[in-house]
Amino acid sequence: MSQLVYNDDIKIIKGSITAPQGFLAAGEHTGIKKRKKDLTLVKSDVPAAAAGTFTQNLVKAPCVVRNKNLIANKINGIVINSGVANACTGETGARNNELMAKTYAECLNADKSSVLTASTGLIGTQLPMDTLATGIKNLYSLINNDFASAGNAAEGIMTTDTFPKEIAVETKIGNKTVRFGGIAKGSGMIHPNMATMLAFITTDADIERSLLQKALSESVDDSYNMISVDGDTSTNDMVIVLANKKAGNKPIIAEDEDYKKFKEALHYVNINLAKQIVTDGEGVTRFMEVHVKGAVTKQDAKSIAKSIINSNLVKTAIFGSDANWGRIICAAGYSGAKFTPAGASIEFSSTAGAIITFMRGEPVVFDEEKALQVLKEKEIKILLTLEDGKAEAIARGCDLSYEYVKINGEYRT
């Protein structure tokens, strides 16, 4: 999937989560955080089919547990707060999560089992429920389908993110134009496992729920689940997609050509948001893409790519523009995947050119000046070619900087 060639019908359009027909949103500061936006509402005009993937962390926030139970329902809306993760908050936290859903359900005049919730921020702190309940009611009066409201919604879910993460695309399914919109947040505790940080995607496509879930799960595996900022899998990760049929396409009920086009557009959105998240990783100065080719199995390729992207020693070398390729082969070696070191080759590349440092198990004498030029660029590609098979995978991540340490040494204060 990650090497998917997208069909030409996919076009990026302006806006994000309200771009598909029948979706509205709002985002505002309500008082959970000191100054920044901390609450987001998403609404579907009509009940929408929903699919989701959720954190594999054993310690799950109440919103994760609750959404997993409700995801097969038709969904009318999602309420998301930032600033407080409402994780590890015991029974009080579970009650508060339920109350958050109930308050928004009352605004929507809907059953609370059709409302999903999400929280992100500090673990172990209780939600300020009076502030939140008042905030939801006030914010609902601002809900709209314009670009500004979608932008506010993208801001309302941010924590240490430095920019909001949005995208919208349209494609043709049959003779109908179908739209997809998405928002996501980073940017620390990012090492998704079967799910991810928060991402919310809307589409006006008409698609059967089990196929919606299948398309989402497969896409997430190759997008969010292949990025890492710091190797920490959060307690609150989730990706939710809502599909409300407003595009009027012939219902997708089988894995046919229409399904394929749907999935390609959905995956385009997910890859784009995943890239935005790593580009905005905490303290990031360089973006890193690790491409592993020639592995025996796809899982081997993935394990190796993730092991490299996640190595503190590789990350600090990239921060220091140092072509220290030994750390790359070392990280591949402890990934748990099998491969033949004697057949391994490593190349660094960027817009400034490419440099080979290791060729079929032997070190290559390379031009250090040229290597420095290649590695001074903002986006670095690392290609590890093996000679064991034909499977490949791409992982995306970022460097490890002084700023990351600073941000995370001072997070609560």
Evaluate whether 44 touches 75 at the Cβ level (below 8 Å): yes
Q: C-alpha angle with apex 82: 79 to 86, nearest 5 degrees?
A: 85
Report the amino acid identity of residue 97: N
What DSSP line would sit under 198-257, residue for residue?
EEEEEE---B-HHHHHHHHHHHHHHTGGGEESSSPPPSS-EEEEEE--TT-PPPB-SSSH
DSSP 8-class letter at 16: S
Does residue 224 interact with its own copies by CB under 8 A? no
Does residue 331 interact with its own copies by CB under 8 A? yes
Looking at the Cβ atoms of 130 and 409, the one nearer to its own copies is 409
Does residue 128 interact with its own copies by CB under 8 A? no
Shortest gap between Cβ of 39 and its own copies (angstroms)? Answer: 21
Instruction: Write down the catalytic residue from 30, 103, 120, 196.
Output: 196
Q: Residue with structure tokens 């995943």?
A: 274
Report the amino acid identity of residue 186: G
Does residue 342 interact with its own copies by CB under 8 A? yes
Report the amino acid identity of residue 362: E
Helices 90-108 & 62-70, crossing angle to 10 degrees? 50
Does residue 330 interact with its own copies by CB under 8 A? yes
Shortest gap between Cβ of 367 and its own copies (angstroms)? Answer: 14
Q: Which of 7, 146, 334, 354 binds its own copies (CB under 8 A)?
A: 334
Total site size for its own copies, rule CB under 8 A: 70
Evaluate whether 193 touches 233 at the Cβ level (below 8 Å): yes
Looking at the Cβ atoms of 250 and 378, the one nearer to its own copies is 378
Does residue 85 interact with its own copies by CB under 8 A? yes
For residue 196, indicate whether it is catalytic: yes
Shortest gap between Cβ of 238 and its own copies (angstroms)? Answer: 15
- Taking the C-alpha atoms of residue 332 and residue 126, their distance in angstroms, rounded to an integer, is 41
Does residue 363 interact with its own copies by CB under 8 A? yes
Active site residues per annotation: 196
Residues near its own copies (CB under 8 A): 56-60, 85, 87-92, 122-126, 188-189, 191, 193, 230-235, 310-313, 316-317, 319-320, 322-327, 329-335, 337-339, 341-342, 357-358, 361-363, 400-402, 404-406, 408-413
